[in-house]
Amino acid sequence: MFTVVVAVGYALAIVIALQAAWAILRLLSPVHPRDAVRQIAAALADALRHQRLASDALIALQSQLRWPYPFRLRRAIAALVRPEPLPLVEALARANLMPPSVLATGRSAAASGLPAQIRWLEALAGPVRTRAGLSGGSSTCIATALLLAWAVAFLSVAVLPKFDMIFRDLGMRLPPLLAGMTAFTWFCVRWSGIVGPAVMATALLAIRAWTTWAWRRDQRFARGTLLVGGAADGCSEPELAVALAESLTGRREALIAAGERGDFPALARLAGWRASTPEQLAERVEHARWCEQRWRTRAQVVGQMLMPLLLAVPVGLLTIGIFQALTNIIVLLAESS
């Protein structure tokens, strides 16, 4: 009985330690989930639009976001309600509630005035999901992929080595297909200390590259929206240049020079767009958003179709190889009898 209690205690201690380590990792992680950023931006845009305090909107969000966002929200609220409050964008930056690339565009919007800041938050919010969830097709696709991955791993680790031992005892050679898979399995097992970290590092680099590209794309859209909105509000080219210079510090001199010349096409080009008038820029921004949505929908459909197929191919090859091996064993037994 004492041994059981000790084992349960060790198990609980391990679970608590893992949970604590995961919480600390989430607190220190620089990654900002897209849904959390969108939800914060939507709440702030709604508060500013209805002339409410941004701190009240952040207080309401504390119970809706997962750790560590409640802790970060409290830091932002403290920066907003102190005797000398920080600007909203600076409070978000200090609390690490937004990625740096997004905050750079936010500073440009804040320099253009409250309407531009509201538009920046609305563009950043996009289609907000208050609960992280997946569509039915995505859930089915992921469940199928996980099931097939488990089947491949089980067959590779538990079944293939048995066939290898049986064929060696019988003095036979494995079929070429099964022999190749067995060699690959043994290679992965033997060099697991290198293969495993290499695969994980590749996956992390791919995720990092995708995240960086996504935020840069959003920043480009935000700059285009800022230019269109500023022009609609009657801002002059010098004012637009000063606002953009807050996020494009490396191009500040070129922006100021283009603004002084009244060169809107140059401002648009420095912001990442090609347009000669605000109307043309607005049309191109909307067209780019439509193209992005179409590409995303098609990529999701193709991914849902290909992911189970890509994992079903190894299962099919394993099945064919195993049946070939069984056929060879049956033939050998029939000949020996």
pLDDT tens readout for residues 234-293: 888 888 888 888 777 778 888 889 888 888 999 989 888 988 888 888 888 888 888 888
Distance CA(208)–CA(215), nearest Å, equals 11
Q: List the chain domain ranges.
A: 34-125, 136-337
Distance CA(320)–CA(297), nearest Å, equals 35
pLDDT tens readout for residues 163-217: 778 888 877 787 887 788 778 777 877 887 887 788 788 888 888 888 788 778 8
How confident is the model at residue 76, as a pLDDT? 92
Distance CA(209)–CA(39), nearest Å, equals 23
Distance CA(215)–CA(103), nearest Å, equals 11
List of residues 6+ apart from 151 with CB closer than 8 A: 315
pLDDT tens readout for residues 216-249: 887 888 888 888 888 887 888 888 888 888 777 7
pLDDT tens readout for residues 37-50: 888 988 999 899 88
Model confidence at 133, in pLDDT bands (50, 70, 90)?
Answer: very low
Model confidence at 15, in pLDDT bands (50, 70, 90)?
Answer: low
Q: CA 191, 192, 193, 198: dihedral to nearest 10 degrees? A: 100
For the full predicted model, state whether its pTM sits above 0.85: no
pLDDT tens readout for residues 60-110: 888 888 777 888 899 999 999 988 888 998 999 888 888 776 777 788 888
Is 32:98 a contact under the CB 8 Å cutoff?
A: yes
How confident is the model at residue 196, as a pLDDT? 76
Query: In a 10 Å sphere around its CB, with 0-12 CB exposed, 13-18 middle and 19+ buried, how is residue 91 labelled?
Result: buried
What is the dihedral sign for C-alpha 48, 53, 57, 62?
positive
Q: Closest Cα to residue 58, out of 49, 325, 46?
A: 46
Backbone angles phi, psi at 29, to 5 degrees: -70, 135
How confident is the model at residue 2, as a pLDDT? 52
Distance CA(317)–CA(319), nearest Å, equals 5
Distance CA(311)–CA(156), nearest Å, equals 13
